[in-house]
Amino acid sequence: MKASEISTEHAKKNKLFYFVANLIVYREEDKRCLILKRGDDEKVHPGKYCFSGGKLEWEDFDISNPTRMNGNVYDFEGALEDLLRRETFEESGLQVEDDFYYINSTGFVRPDGIPVMMQKFTAKYKEGEIKIEEGAIAGYAWVNKEEVMTYNCIDGIKEEVIQTIELFE
């Protein structure tokens, strides 16, 4: 029997969490990565530098329009990549190439008690001019391995910039 709607009614209470994905945008021409400054009103890490990204949302799983039916299962191929592209464009105005490379994952619990599973990827800058998302992003910088050390970043960001640059060198 196929599902007729997305529901958490039958989900196990201890299995629910936010799924978040971040993208490290790498600009090949000068070997720099984009970091974004979170707004001061953000619940998690206000005012610190991070990467573009966001939460997977129910709208990302429109069961009236799956990419395919896999028996009685609704498949949404490329949902993660679509999330990364959408959030990067919304937060920075940039578009990235189609190849995504895995960096790492982190599980954490937000100050409001919500558990989160976060995955980080990198992709090369494709096109666009920086246009930061008003109200959510307070600033940005393109940084190399040395410059990132001077910014007030969320823990791990500096090391991930270095890892990304070394991946593409």
pTM score of the predicted model: 0.90
Residue 12 pLDDT > 80, yes or no?
A: no
The average confidence (pLDDT) of the chain is: 92
Query: Which listed CATH number (3.90.1300.10, 3.40.50.720, 3.90.79.10, 3.90.226.10) goes with 13-168?
Result: 3.90.79.10
Would you list the domain boundaries of the chain?
13-168
Residue 2 has pLDDT above 80, yes or no: no
pLDDT, residue 15, reads: 66
**CB-based contacts of 30, cutoff 8 Å, min separation 6:** 142, 144
Give the residue among 54, 55, 12, 51 at the shortest CA–CA distance from 34.
51
Do the Cβ atoms of 61 and 74 come closer than 8 Å?
A: yes
29 φ, ψ to 5°? -60, -30
Q: CB 160: neighbour CB atoms within 10 A?
A: 22
The whole-number average pLDDT for the span 125-141 is 95
